[in-house]
Amino acid sequence: MTELRFNFSGHPVAAFEIAPLVGANLPSDGQELAEYIRELLLSLPERERLLAGEVGEVILPGLAQAAALLLAEWHGQFGNWPSIRWATRGPDGFTWPEEAKADLNAVRESARTAR
């Protein structure tokens, strides 16, 4: 049985296939980005094994490991997921527009319907 390994970093790593997300022009709108990520996870190879309870190993992009650990700790301490916001590049530098936001509790509830 092969291990379930997914590479979202964009860098070649032995024994990890690069996921299709890498190198994509990701939408900055939170709803569009959530839908894009959902489609990515719905199309993962070996999805049935994950649904059956096997644990996957994921290589995250950039400094995402800090974000992942922060979110896991947040959920552990407070029992819910926060809303998140991210910067987008504008003509005068970075901005934090309202559409570059996602309610992670709502994303989780919506994602549960994909099981």
Give me the residue spans of the domains in the chain: 5-112
**Please, are residues 32 and 83 in contact by the beta-carbon 8 Å criterion?**
no
pLDDT tens digit string along 55-113? 888 777 666 777 888 788 888 888 988 888 888 888 888 888 888 888 899 999 998 88
pLDDT tens digit string along 20-60? 665 567 777 778 888 888 888 888 888 899 889 888 887 77
Q: Using CA atoms, how far apart are residues 29 and 31, in angstroms rounded to an integer?
A: 6
Query: DSSP readout, 27-70?
Result: -SSHHHHHHHHHHHHHT-TTHHHHHTTPPPEEEPSTTHHHHHHH
Q: What is the dihedral of CA 37, 39, 45, 51, to 10 degrees?
A: 80
pLDDT of residue 6: 79
pLDDT of residue 13: 77
CA angle 31, 58, 89 (to 5 degrees): 40
